[in-house]
Structure 1
Amino acid sequence: MFLRSFNIVLLSFIFILLTTLSETEEIEEDKPKEVIYSNSIRALSELREIENSYLEHLASYVSSLSQKVENLRTFIDSVTGSNLNSKTDPIQYVSNPLNSFGLVRRAHEDWPKFIAYTKIFKNLTVENEELQKLVNRTPSADDMREALLGMHRIEHFYDLKSSDMANGLLAGGQLGTRMTVPDCVALADFMYNQSEFRRSAEWYRLALSALNELQNSTASPFHIPNPDDLRKKFIMSRLQEGSINNLSDYLMELTQDREIPLIHLRPNPTLTAIERGCRGEFPPGPQLVCRYNSTTTPFMRIAPLKEEEISRNPLIWLYHDVIYDSEIAQLTNMTRKEMTQGTTNNYTTSGQVSRLFHVKVTDDDGGKLDKTLVNRMADISGLDVGNSTSLARINYGLGSYFPEHSDYVDIKNHPEFTEEGDRLMTFLFYLTDVPVGGSTIFPAAELAIQPKKGSALFWYNLHNDGEPNPLTRHAVCPMIMGNRWVLVKSMLNYEQMFTKPCYK
C-alpha cells in the first residue's frame, strides 16, 4: 500500500515537473533574442527601417488624438525634420555616425517613454499594440553601450573636439547633422563612467549650451534634462581631476564659449602607434613599384592585374580593380539574420573579448561566386587555395574597429595548430569605399591603407622559414563615415609547402 502511494506521488511530481518545463520552454520561445545592432551598418539599417515603421504607427496614432498632439509631433518632427528625410535609404542614413548614434539612443531611451505616455488613451489600443511590438525590437542596454563605445572611439582615436562632433564636423568632413541635447547628455554620462572626466565635462557644457538655445520646450516632459543637474555634473567632472580650491575657475568655464576646449587637468597620455596611424601621422610610405602582374599563373598572361607594391618588409601588395560591382552587390546582399556577431579572437588578439562587427563565414566548398573569388586569389598569389572557400564577409558599424592583432597564431605557443600549420598569408578584399576612417594600419611598419572599392590587400604573415613576422600585426581604425564591407581569407602554411616561392 505504501509503495503504491509512493508511486502515485512520484508520478504526480514528474507530471508537475514536465508541465513546468513545458511552460518554461514556451516562455523561452516567446522571449525575443537579444540583437546587437551597433556592430554593423547592415543591422543599423534594419533598425532604421524599424524606426521608420515606428514613426509611421506613431504618426497614425497622433492623428487620432485630440490632446497632447503637439508634444508627440515635436518628437516626430525632431527625427523627420533633419537634413535626411525619414524615407531616405536606411544604409545612406546610418552611414552618418551622428544619425546612427541618435537612432540607437532614441530607440533605446525615447520610444518606451512615448509608449507609456500614449497608454493613457484607452480607446486607441490597436495602434498602441503595434507601437509596443516595435518597441520590443529596440536596442538593448548592451547595444546602447556599443553605440556609446563607438562614439567614444571616434572622439578618442581621432582626437576630435566635442563641439565639432556635436556640430557634425568629423575629421575634416561636415555632415550637415547636429547632435541633440539627449545625445550629448548620454555621451557625457558615458564618458564620466569611463573616467574620461575632461571629455565628460565638455559634453555636459555642450548639452547645457544647446539646452539654452532650444526654442521649443514642448518636448521637455520626455527627455530634456534639468539645467541645474547638468551644471552639477559639469562641476563634479572637473573636481574629479582638479581641486576644490579651483572651484571658481570651473564655474567660470561654464560661462565660456563651448568652442573653447577645457584645460587638461591631467597630463596627456603618450600617443600609441595605432592612434598616430589613424590620425594620419605616419611618415609617407616608400615609393615602390606599380605594374601589371602577368607572370603568377598562365591565366594572368591573358588578363594581367594591376599590382601596387606597398611594402617589402612585411611583404604587402595592393591589387586594384580585382572584384566587380556585380560580385560586390551579390556578396553584400544579406540581411542581419544571415550574419552573426563577430568578436575578437583569443589566439590573435590579447585582452578581453569584444564585439566588433557582423560577419558571415562560408566554411564549405561555397557557391559559384565563392569559387570564382578563391580562384582569383590563386591567380594573384600563385598558391594552392584547396577545395574549401572559408570566406568571411564582414560589415562594420558605428565606430566599429579592430584592435591590433595578428593573423598568425604562432604554433610554438599553440601546439594544437601544429597539424594544420599557421596562417601563411591573408587576402583582404575591399567591397566598398570608406570616405572617412576605417583604414587598415600596420603600426610597427607605420603603414596605413584606406579602403578602396574593388581593391584587395595581400600579405604574407610568415617569413620564409615559417616563423611569424610581427610587422604584420595590424588593426582597423574606427569607422566614421561610410559602410565598410570586406571579404577576408587566409591560407595555411603547410598547404603551400611546394608552391610558395621564397622571397628575399
Structure 2
Amino acid sequence: MIGFIINESVLAIMLLSFSVTDLKEIYTSMRTIKVHMADTRQLLKGELSTLRSYVKNQKAALTNLKESINNLQHLSEEAKHPNFDILHPLNAYRFIRNHSVIYENTVKTIITETKQLEEKLVSNTRELIPKIPSLNKTEYEGVIDGILRLQGTYDLNVNDIVEGNFGGIPSGLTISAKECGEIIKVLFKDPFNRPFYGSEWVKQATRMIQNGDRSTTVATIYTLAANAMLAINKREEAALLYAMIPKDQRGRYHKIMVKALWTQTEDSNRRQVYRRMNTIFTKADLKNRHDRLCNGQSIESLLPNRHTPRRHLVCRIVDNGSPILRVQPIKLEELSLDPYVAIFHDIGSEHEISAVRECAEPKLQRSMVNSLLQGSVLDRGRTSQNMFIFDDSKYIKFARRIEAATGLNYSGFEKFQIANYGVGGHYYCHHDFFSAEYAKKTFDDDNRIATCMLYLTDVEKGGATVFPDIGVSVFPRKGRAIFWYNMYRNGTVHPLTRHAACPVLVGEKWVGNLWIRRNAQTFAKPCSLDRLELDWNWL
C-alpha cells in the first residue's frame, strides 16, 4: 500500500506526463513566444502555490501514515518482550486483542488514508496540469533549426553562439556541452544541414568538456551524432563518428558499431568521408548571393551582365497632383529600374502601425505557401506567422496613399497581410506572382502586378529584404515601405523580382504586405506591346 504514496519528486514526474502536446509552432513568431512566456509566468505564480499546498497536505498525510505504521510495529514489539508469556491468560488476551481489534482498525486506517491520498492527488493534478503551459518537442527542434539558419546565413562562429554572442549582441546566457549535444542531434539528422556545421558543433562540445563542463561526456556527444547520421542512412559518416570516440570512453557497443558499419567500406572512401565532414562547403550561387545581401555586402561582381537602364536612380518627392499627398508627399528612393524597386520613406504613421498590429496580434497563424497540387502547405522555407485584415478601415489611409503614389487602382488591392517572424524567422527566395497555371486555375488568370511591403518595426539586427538577382537589399525601418512591380508592361511576369526575407538575427520583425492585382489596372496601367519598356515610367 505504501507504494501508492507519491512524494514531491514523483509529483513533478506526473506533471510532465500530463504535458500538453498540441503543435503550436510558437518559435515561428516572436510575438507568440512573448505571449506564451507571459502566460507561463502569470499562471505559475498561482499554480506553483497550489502545488506547494498539495505537497504540504501530502506530507501531513504521510506523517499520519507513519504513525499508524509505528503503531503496528509497537504491537509486534510487545510480544517480543522477555517477560511476555503467551501461556498467561492476560497476555493471551492482550495479544489477541491487539491483533484483532486494534490491528484491524490500524490497517483499515492505512488503507483508507492511502486510497484517499492517491485519489485526491490524481484529481488535483488532472485539474491543475491543463492550466500549466507546456510545449511540444518539435518546438525545441524548431528553435534549434532557427539558430542553425542564423549560423549559416550570417557565418556565425560556433563559439560565439555558445557564448550567447549573436552578431556582436550578447544575450547574457551560455550554452552547455549537453545542449550542444541536443543541437548536434537535430543538425545531423537533417539532410538540409551540412556535415561541416555538425563537425564544428562536435568539436565545440568536446572542447567544453575538456575545459571542465561536466553536463555530458565526449562519448555521448559522438554517439548522438553517429545515431543521428545512422537514422538518415549515412552509414559511413556514422561509423567515422563512432570511431572518433576516445579509447578510454569507447565501449563494446561502439566497437561493434564501427566494425559493422566499416565492413563494406574501402580505406579510400573512409578518407573521403573524413574530408567531406571536415571541409568548409561552398555555398550554391543563389544561397551565396542571398547571404551576402543579408549581411549588407555588395554582390555586383556576382551578377551577370545586363542591359544598362537609360537613366540614373534618383530620390524625389512624389505627390502626383493628388490631394491625399499634397500635404505629406511621398519621399521616394529608387533602388532599381529593371525591375522597378523603390522605397517609400515614412509612409506609415505610428497610429496606423499600432492599429494594424493591435488587430493582428491575437489572430496570428502559422504561415503557409501555396501549391498547385496540395493547396496551402507548411514549408521550412517560410517560418513566420501571419493573418489578413479584412476590415479595410484599419489600413485604408495607408492603402489610399499607395494608390495615390502609384496610380494603381485600389479595387485591385488584396487584403492587408500582417506577418511576424520568430527565431531565425525567414522567407527564402520566392516570387510574389503566381505561376501561369496556378493563376489561371485559381484566380481567373489574374496575377499580382505589384507588391508594397510596409515595415511595422525596427529590427535590431538582420531581417533585410533582399533581391539576389539584382543586388538590392533593404533593412527594416519602422514606417518605411518597399514597392516593386512583379510584371513587365506587357503583362508577363518579371523573373528578376525574386526576393527573400532574411532571418532575423536579433529583435522582432513585423511587416504588412499589400499585393496588387493586374486585372483591376486595365485603365490605370494599360499594357504596352514593348516587353522591355522600363517600369519606372509607371510612377
Same fold per superposition (TM over 0.5): yes
- Write the distance in 1 (CA, Å) between the matches of 2:352 and 2:373: 30
State the partner residue of 1:229.
Answer: 220
Contact residue 195 and residue 276 of structure 2 kept, 8 A: no
Task: Please list the CA deviations of residues 222-269 of structure 1 after superposition, one character each: whole Å capped at 9, or x if unmatched.
Answer: xx5455412544678799559859967x859x9xxxxxxx99534613
State the partner residue of 1:191.
Answer: 187
Which structure 2 residues correspond to residues 48-59 of structure 1 after superposition, within 5 A? 48-53=37-42, 55-56=44-45
Q: CA deviation at 1:417?
A: 5.2
- Write the distance in 1 (CA, Å) between the matches of 2:127 and 2:177: 28
Does 2:407 align with 1:382? yes
State the partner residue of 2:478.
Answer: 453
In structure 2, which of residues 337, 343, 364 is the aligned counterpart of residue 339 of structure 1? Answer: 364
State the partner residue of 2:423.
Answer: 398
Q: CA deviation at 1:171?
A: 2.6
Q: How many residues align?
A: 404
**Secondary structure of 2:404's aligned partner:** helix
Does 2:253 align with 1:265? no
Which letter maps to 2:200? E
**Secondary structure of 2:479's aligned partner:** coil
State the partner residue of 2:294.
Answer: 278
Task: Please list the CA deviations of residues 155-194 of structure 1 after superposition, one character each: whole Å capped at 9, or x if unmatched.
Answer: 1222222111111122333333322444322211101112
Does 2:477 align with 1:464? no
State the partner residue of 1:203.
Answer: 201
- Write the distance in 1 (CA, Å) between the matches of 2:506 and 2:189: 26
State the partner residue of 1:290.
Answer: 315
Which letter maps to 1:187? I
Contact residue 436 and residue 445 of structure 2 kept, 8 A: no
Q: CA deviation at 1:429?
A: 0.3
Which letter maps to 1:133? P
Q: CA deviation at 1:422?
A: 1.4
Which letter maps to 2:278? L
State the partner residue of 1:157.
Answer: 153
Q: CA deviation at 1:442?
A: 0.8
**Secondary structure of 1:345's aligned partner:** strand
Task: Please list the CA deviations of residues 23-55 of structure 1 after superposition, one character each: whole Å capped at 9, or x if unmatched.
Answer: xxxxxxxx9853221111111112212332465
Which letter maps to 2:135? P
- Write the distance in 1 (CA, Å) between the matches of 2:123 and 2:45: 14
Q: CA deviation at 1:201?
A: 3.5
Which letter maps to 2:449? L
- Write the distance in 1 (CA, Å) between the matches of 2:492 and 2:187: 42
Q: CA deviation at 1:122?
A: 9.4
State the partner residue of 2:25.
Answer: 36
Which structure 2 residues correspond to residues 406-425 of structure 1 after superposition, within 5 A? 406-411=431-436, 414-416=439-441, 419=444, 421-425=446-450
- Write the distance in 1 (CA, Å) between the matches of 2:241 and 2:360: 56
**Secondary structure of 2:45's aligned partner:** helix
Greater shift after overlay, 203-212 or 487-496?
A: 203-212
Q: CA deviation at 1:475?
A: 1.0
Task: Please list the CA deviations of residues 95-132 of structure 1 after superposition, one character each: whole Å capped at 9, or x if unmatched.
Answer: xxxxxxxxxxxxxxxxxxxxxxxxx9998779856762
State the partner residue of 1:496.
Answer: 521
TM-score (norm 1): 0.69
- Write the distance in 2 (CA, Å) between the matches of 1:311 and 1:246: 53
Contact residue 177 and residue 209 of structure 2 kept, 8 A: yes
**Secondary structure of 1:333's aligned partner:** helix
Contact residue 414 and residue 516 of structure 2 kept, 8 A: no
State the partner residue of 1:133.
Answer: 130
In structure 1, which of residues 360, 369, 373 is the aligned counterpart of residue 387 of structure 2? Answer: 360
Which letter maps to 1:341? R
TM-score (norm 2): 0.65
In structure 2, which of residues 459, 465, 471 is the aligned counterpart of residue 434 of structure 1? Answer: 459
In structure 2, which of residues 158, 164, 167 is the aligned counterpart of residue 171 of structure 1? Answer: 167
Contact residue 188 and residue 225 of structure 2 kept, 8 A: no
Q: CA deviation at 1:463?
A: 0.4
Q: CA deviation at 1:198?
A: 3.3
State the partner residue of 1:318.
Answer: 343
State the partner residue of 2:398.
Answer: 373
**Secondary structure of 2:34's aligned partner:** helix
Greater shift after overlay, 123-132 or 371-380?
A: 123-132
Contact residue 197 and residue 241 of structure 1 kept, 8 A: no
Which letter maps to 1:460? Y
With over 3 angstroms needed to count, the CA separation of the structure-2 counterparts of 1:428 and 1:124, relative to structure 1, is same
- Write the distance in 2 (CA, Å) between the matches of 1:148 and 1:246: 24
**Secondary structure of 2:26's aligned partner:** coil
Task: Please list the CA deviations of residues 348-392 of structure 1 after superposition, one character each: whole Å capped at 9, or x if unmatched.
Answer: 9999841621111134xx242222222121122111111865110
**Secondary structure of 2:469's aligned partner:** coil
Contact residue 453 and residue 513 of structure 2 kept, 8 A: yes
Q: CA deviation at 1:59?
A: 5.3
Q: CA deviation at 1:418?
A: 6.6
Q: What's the C-alpha RMSD, in Å, of the aligned pairs?
A: 4.0
**Secondary structure of 1:500's aligned partner:** coil
Q: CA deviation at 1:301?
A: 3.0
State the partner residue of 1:60.
Answer: 49
- Write the distance in 2 (CA, Å) between the matches of 1:199 and 1:429: 35
**Secondary structure of 1:376's aligned partner:** helix
| Structure whose residues are more often helix by fraction | 2
- Write the distance in 2 (CA, Å) between the matches of 1:263 and 1:42: 40
- Write the distance in 2 (CA, Å) between the matches of 1:201 and 1:350: 38
Contact residue 226 and residue 242 of structure 2 kept, 8 A: no
Contact residue 451 and residue 485 of structure 2 kept, 8 A: yes
Structure 1 alignment gaps of length 5 or more: 1-30, 67-119, 218-223, 255-261
With over 3 angstroms needed to count, the CA separation of the structure-2 counterparts of 1:152 and 1:329, relative to structure 1, is same
State the partner residue of 1:10.
Answer: none
